[in-house]
Structure 1
Amino acid sequence: MGVEPGAAETREKRIDGASAPDESIEEFADEPLEDRRGTRLDDWWSRVLSTPRRRTLWYWGGPILVTLLAAVLRFWNLGHPAAIVFDETYYVKDAWTLLQNGYESNWPEGADADFAAGDTGIFNDSPAYVVHPPLGKWMISLGMAAFGAGDPFWWRASTALTGTIAVFLMTLVARRLFASTMLAVIAGLLFAVDGNAIVMSRVALLDNWVMLFALLGFWFVLLDRDRSRRLLEERLDADRATGREPHYGPAIWARPWVVAAGVAFGAACAVKWSGLWFLAAFGIYLVVVDAVARRRAGVPFWLTASILKQGPVTFLLLVPVAAVVYLASWTGWLVTDGGYYRHWAEEAGNAATGWLSWVPLSLQSLWHYHEAAYGYHVGVHSPHPWQSNPLTWLFMIRPTNMYYSSSDDGSGGCGADTCWSSIIELGNPLIWWAAAAASIYLVYRLVRYREWQVGAILVGLAAGYLPWLGYLNRTVFQFYSIAFEPFTVLALVFVIGLMLGRRDDPTWRRERGIAVVVIFLAFVLAVSAFFFPIWSGIPVTPTFRQLHFWLPSWG
């Protein structure tokens, strides 16, 4: 997966200094300070990675190490609390009935406590009205399918695994963007220790799956970017070698990474409809990238070719694949008889007439289901104590308190008479606020320098965030931001890369950049350790819990 170690070595020289000459700082002792290049740390790092075997070990070992850290933070004590947490009341129970009936079914009043106590068979066969596609719930059900629903660890295991895999995937994406294993490891580390990512991996909700599939689709788009450009140049060179001047350039069908991206974005849509924005945004991005590649390759009618020639090909490779994946997620509903609205079109007066009468009744019923669900989504205005305005999401003004319990008899486990336990979907403030500032800076950076990495990151951020600004009056929550958090972290890592500079930068500049980044990362780790108890439900004293509310709106 990703770039082979040998190919990556050359690309990483610019940042990691892995192949830099083994020079000592003493060689520059008589030079003016502003003329010296590199640092002793660079020299040491060059010696550490002085053999192909060591470089390969770093290439894979660094990402694996931060992934193992992510696994510990997500799986440790995952079965606590042994209670249905926040919207697990919908998704865990829906996932269990999907396994049993093939469709989401109803539960009696007060079923949460019984389910948590191990009485998981009290559901009935009548269908439940749900407003999200089934794939995320099918994924949540994987742990329960293997080990049963009697232990809350298995309600959440597949979601925790999703968050862990996403950290490793983040390192692959970052290395593809920045050509640096060092920056890839930093990206994975930041995502591994952030509270929003940790909480959303420890509670069985749907949004972590949207994040994973969107990030996976983004990686496939990046892989296609390099491959399709090479194919275009090869085809153009072949045409020119025969004396033909390609006015439009070829239409390239051999783009397996676009097909893979269609699968990933289709899966994101099959978890939540918000995944559709990633499909649309990166579909447009693929056309823009092709236009730029054709222009740089000297194709005369590059814009027309990218829109009217390659564009339809890209659409056919991407969108129908996503549609098939989305429809396949409804298989359980389609092959059973008990799902909500399953037989709507069979009722008198409901079936389509005229030119749509050929559509199978089951698909007509499914379409009606989607119309009803859309009406619900746009009309959700019920006040909630933890709802959050999307305008504040980048700055994490109103996080979601997902769980709270207290004890006053000394049995809480915090060493005091009164103990409180919380699971608050609160990101690491240093990561979030720095990432917000970096994201704003990247907008300027795109206008000023037009770097492709910046454009790719901002496309993902825009797809995950901007559509929510159209729903400012709807009841929404801060934890939806997990879908676009990888892109804010990548924005931050881009800025960190600028601060670190290059191996051949003046010594004073390189030393200052390294010092700032090391200090920042040290504080990030310290803050994450401080906040981890309220991310994982560890009992604490009320005073200690209150110390975490740096803004009044957090409590």
Structure 2
Amino acid sequence: MTTELAEPEPTAPSYLVEPRGTRLDAWWGRVLSVGWRLRVWRWTGPLAVTLLAAFLRLWDLGRPHALVFDETYYVKDAWSLIHLGYEGTWPASTQLTNTTDAKFAAGAVNIYSHAPEFIAHPPLGKYIIGLGELAFGGATNAVGWRISVALIGIATVFLVAVIARSLLRSTLLGTVAGFLMAIDGQAIVMSRVSLLDGIVGFFALLAFGALLLDRRWMERRLDRWIEQRASSGRDTLWGPWMWNRPWLFAMGAACGLAMSTKWTGLYFVAFFAVYSVLTDMMAQRRAGIEFWLSSAILRQGPISFVLTVPITLVLYLVSWSGWFLTSGGYDRTWIQSGGGTRWHGVLAWVPTSFQNWWHYQVQIYDFNIGLHTPHSYAANPLTWMLMVRPTSMYYVGTSLGQSGCTSERCGAAITDIANPFIWYAAVLACVVLLVLFVTRRRWEYGFILLGVAAGYLPWLLYIGRTVFQFYTIAFEPYMVMALAAVIGLVIGHRDAIRRRRTAGLVGAGAYLLVATAASAYWYPMWTGMQESWAFISSHYWFRSWL
């Protein structure tokens, strides 16, 4: 009996086989072939873009030495909060040349009264601003009232780079994401102006990173549990009781800090907590646990609730410590002064101070829900992704010879126009990731979109409320991560056909150069530099940007 040897398949001549990768890839592979170089590169990229962000945010941070836009509220409230334990009342501004803001900027920082002021946001963000004021000795230097927000903006860039690196499993793409966040105009403005939204975004991003770590922690523990059950010969009808979830607890704590800055932090804890339960459920299903749905609902759901919601609420309550420990805060003696009556029945035991505080929270809720005051820079959430109405934070016009003006007309502006080449590309990237998530089931893409959804979708319930374009800073980190992910798809794998890989690298590099040039062009408009009116007006691409 004989067997016939199969003929070998014909192979194409070497000159017909297209080479893969580029010489750059080959060189970079050799550079990172040494372990310590790879470890250095993992941190060099994120740290480099963080240093860039620090330069763009800290350079001449004290310009202008004036309270711009809503700094008039948060900066002064932070100062009185630090000294009184609650927000005091500031004199009303009655003269354009002698306003309270001008006095404050000139150093008259103690002209507030002990009378309480109704404030519509929790205290934590103002405590953070106030710490910077204390460190720099009050308001004699505008750096003092902006430094805390600037440092948080810098830290946000670092977090974006590190989280994107971990999520996309690429130091290059993580560095690209951090770079885009570092040079974007809205991120720069919201780091150089002392408002609360950048602080909310920072704490929400911390929660997002903790949620990512929890997902991987949970999956590793579930794998070990499955192995132990298999080795013991037992079935896997029910999943494990997973109380040991430190990163889930950290996520709840970070959301609590976000909520203690602004109530919008509540949306992040809601979205992230629901996501945690859903991913637990899917992980148990993939692990072959028969009662995965019942296990997630009856076991892990309550556990996740206990690990996230209580710490969120506790930190929110702790942020009001100054109000509780003093006697002069708004509504602090509401019941005692005859404004209301104590609770009765099963709630009669609740301390009067807490009942007064609860009444204050109800008033804050009513104010925020009912805020429909017309404003020239109000931006409907339906238009945010199109950036129809950016916010002008500051503008001072000058004439020839005035304050160094060398043109017939000059001006200094701080306007919340994001880098158009980053913003609109990021919006398109979110759409691309949504399509790829639905068609390819890449969980990383869905995870990025979760951050965008948590920061954006709840605002669609309040399209009639007075809101502003700069609120988008809370979810912009996830948009630049989406953009970095799409850039990664454009670049392709290092083993891709050379023509494909070269085109991707050149295209991505060209895009980044254009975005960088645009940021250099817009930078004076983000930092209050005095320029000619012709230069300023060239940045208003649409009439609605004026």
TM-score range, shorter chain: over 0.9
Equivalent pairs: percent with the same residue?
Answer: 49
Deviation, 1:414, is 4.6
1:438 aligns with 2:422: no
Name the counterpart of 1:132: 121
CA contact (8 A) 2:56 2:188 kept: yes
Name the counterpart of 1:458: 449
Higher alpha-carbon Rg = 2
Name the counterpart of 1:222: 212
1:420 aligns with 2:420: no
CA contact (8 A) 1:187 1:490 kept: yes
Which deviations, in whole Å up to 9, do the C-alpha atoms of 1:130-167 show, x marking residues without a partner?
Answer: 00000010111111122222211110000000000000
Deviation, 1:508, is 1.0
CA contact (8 A) 1:420 1:542 kept: yes
CA contact (8 A) 2:399 2:405 kept: no
Gaps in structure 2 of 5+ consecutive residues: 1-11, 94-99
Which deviations, in whole Å up to 9, do the C-alpha atoms of 1:236-287 show, x marking residues without a partner?
Answer: 2212222211211111111110111111000000111111010000000101
CA contact (8 A) 2:342 2:355 kept: yes
Q: Secondary structure at the match of 1:198?
A: helix
Aligned partner of 1:37: which letter?
R
Name the counterpart of 2:203: 213
Deviation, 1:29, is 11
Q: Distance in 2 between matches of 1:251 and 1:212?
A: 31
Which deviations, in whole Å up to 9, do the C-alpha atoms of 1:307-343 show, x marking residues without a partner?
Answer: 2111111111111011111111000011000000011
Name the counterpart of 1:184: 174
Identify the match of residue 271 of structure 1 among 242, 253, 261. Answer: 261
Superposition pairs of residues 28-107 of structure 1, within 5 angstroms: 30-32=14-16, 35-107=18-90
CA contact (8 A) 2:252 2:309 kept: yes
Q: Distance in 2 between matches of 1:414 and 1:38?
A: 53
Q: Distance in 2 between matches of 1:358 and 1:451?
A: 52
Q: Secondary structure at the match of 1:126?
A: strand
Q: Distance in 2 between matches of 1:160 and 1:444?
A: 35
Identify the match of residue 300 of structure 1 among 279, 290, 302. Answer: 290
Which deviations, in whole Å up to 9, do the C-alpha atoms of 1:54-88 show, x marking residues without a partner?
Answer: 21221111111100000000010100101010000
Q: Secondary structure at the match of 1:405?
A: strand
Q: Distance in 2 between matches of 1:346 and 1:284?
A: 41
Q: Distance in 2 between matches of 1:89 and 1:170?
A: 30
Name the counterpart of 1:345: 335
CA contact (8 A) 2:124 2:257 kept: yes
Name the counterpart of 2:373: 382
CA contact (8 A) 1:412 1:418 kept: no
Which deviations, in whole Å up to 9, do the C-alpha atoms of 1:411-434 show, x marking residues without a partner?
Answer: 333532422000001100000000
CA RMSD of aligned residues (A): 1.3
Identify the match of residue 289 of structure 1 among 265, 279, 296. Answer: 279
Aligned partner of 2:70: which letter?
D
Gaps in structure 1 of 5+ consecutive residues: 1-27
Aligned partner of 2:494: which letter?
R
CA contact (8 A) 1:412 1:419 kept: no
CA contact (8 A) 1:460 1:487 kept: yes
Deviation, 1:346, is 2.8
Aligned partner of 1:186: which letter?
V
Q: Distance in 1 between matches of 2:502 and 2:182?
A: 26
CA contact (8 A) 2:200 2:261 kept: yes
CA contact (8 A) 2:252 2:308 kept: yes
Name the counterpart of 1:23: none
Q: Distance in 2 between matches of 1:385 and 1:529?
A: 28
1:114 aligns with 2:98: no
Q: Distance in 2 between matches of 1:145 and 1:360?
A: 33
Deviation, 1:362, is 1.0
Deviation, 1:30, is 4.5
Deviation, 1:226, is 0.7
Deviation, 1:409, is 4.0
CA contact (8 A) 1:410 1:418 kept: no
Aligned partner of 1:219: which letter?
G
CA contact (8 A) 2:384 2:469 kept: yes
Q: Secondary structure at the match of 2:86?
A: coil
Deviation, 1:101, is 0.3
Which deviations, in whole Å up to 9, do the C-alpha atoms of 1:22-55 show, x marking residues without a partner?
Answer: xxxxxx994336x321011101211222312221
